[in-house]
Amino acid sequence: MSTESFRVGFYARAFPDFSLADLEVTVKLLSEEIGKQLGIQTSVTVFKDLAEMRNAFEHGEINFVVASSLNLANEFENSQFSDGFRMVTTNEFNDTLVVMTRKNAGLDNFKSLAGKRLTLVENDPIAHLYIDTLAVSHFNKHYYESFKVVKNETKYMQIILKLFFGQTDVICMYQNAYAVASELNPQIIAKLQIVSQINGIPQGLGFFHKSTSPIFREKVIAELLKLDTHTRGRELLQLFKADKTIRTSPADLIPVKQLSASLNKSP
């Protein structure tokens, strides 16, 4: 019997809609219970410090990391990664970032947004990167210099409602969160619009360390790709507003690296 264990590290600041308590209690306990049911010894550690998580990954204290694709692309030695998995929805919006404004406000393209009020979700570094890339491209200034007011909120629904009620002019987020909000309140669709978007940028990913036994890695991935087939697995997916798990590879980091590089190359 294998003595290997599935030692997961979650970066807390990669999950805007989760409190630290959600991750440390609900997600941790549910994940470890699922591991027990699958016969895979599982432990979950939630990290508030990315450097601490990277160090634990490099020294074998954890063998699987989950974070924003931007965190993983820029803050980890990518040659240490091997395949893993991520949670996705069944719609087409998993990897789409959008910039949104209110309809009939004269804010119908990015050029028209200069000097307006921008609100972002604090723990969504890819949205910050995308809006910065657009600002530098259109205005030759970073986003915090291009908008009159820049505010951060903690959750996606907060920034959507701020835009809906006219308390801000521009938001940037993943389209999945907008789709969820629109299902809850169809009036949102009638009032808000997308003025810019980019596809193919994964939000959160999970990778094994390359030193993990391929046999063990494949066993874990195979079992977790079936999360949607049992009750506890579906509960975990629902927490992340996802429908299923899919396999990932380090190549999935290429689009966010390209987006980051495009900003660095801007004048």
For residue 267, tell me if it sits in a domain. no
For residue 259, tell me if it sits in a domain. no
The pLDDT score that the predictor gives to residue 217 is 97
CATH of the domain at 20: 3.40.190.10
Confidence (pTM): 0.91
For residue 215, tell me if it sits in a domain. yes
The pLDDT score that the predictor gives to residue 202 is 93
β-bridge mates for residue 43, sequence order: 7
β-bridge mates for residue 247, sequence order: 85
Write phi, then psi, for 168 (nearest 5 degrees).
-150, 165
The pLDDT score that the predictor gives to residue 239 is 85
β-bridge mates for residue 97, sequence order: 174, 198
- Residues 215, 86: one domain? yes
- Residues 170, 209: one domain? no
Total tally of structural domains belonging to the chain: 2
For residue 163, tell me if it sits in a domain. yes
For residue 66, tell me if it sits in a domain. yes
Q: Do 250 and 78 meet the contact criterion of CB atoms below 8 Å apart?
A: yes
For residue 263, tell me if it sits in a domain. no
- Residues 118, 154: one domain? yes
pLDDT per residue rounded down to tens, the chain (267 residues): 457 999 999 998 888 877 788 888 888 899 999 999 999 999 999 999 999 999 999 999 999 999 999 999 999 999 999 999 999 988 777 799 999 999 999 999 999 999 999 999 998 999 999 999 999 999 999 999 999 989 999 999 999 999 999 999 999 999 988 988 888 888 999 999 999 999 999 999 999 999 999 999 999 999 999 999 999 999 999 888 899 999 999 999 999 999 999 887 655
The pLDDT score that the predictor gives to residue 13 is 87
Q: Do 130 and 69 meet the contact criterion of CB atoms below 8 Å apart?
A: no
The pLDDT score that the predictor gives to residue 265 is 66
| Torsion over CA: 32, 33, 35, 39 (sign) | positive
Strands 204-209 and 117-121: unpaired
The pLDDT score that the predictor gives to residue 1 is 41
The pLDDT score that the predictor gives to residue 241 is 85
Range of the domain at 38: 6-90+201-251
CA–CA gap between residue 221 and residue 245 (Å, rounded): 9
CA–CA gap between residue 156 and residue 159 (Å, rounded): 5
For residue 165, tell me if it sits in a domain. yes
Which residue, 51, 49, 47, 59, is CA-closest to 8? 47
- Residues 193, 206: one domain? no
CA–CA gap between residue 201 and residue 187 (Å, rounded): 27
3-state secondary structure of 192: strand
CA–CA gap between residue 87 and residue 77 (Å, rounded): 23
CA–CA gap between residue 41 and residue 180 (Å, rounded): 34
Which single residue is written with the structure tokens 């907060």? 158
CA–CA gap between residue 92 and residue 199 (Å, rounded): 10
The pLDDT score that the predictor gives to residue 266 is 58
The pLDDT score that the predictor gives to residue 144 is 94
CA of 20: how far to CAs of 15, 27, 89, 159, in Å? 9, 10, 23, 20
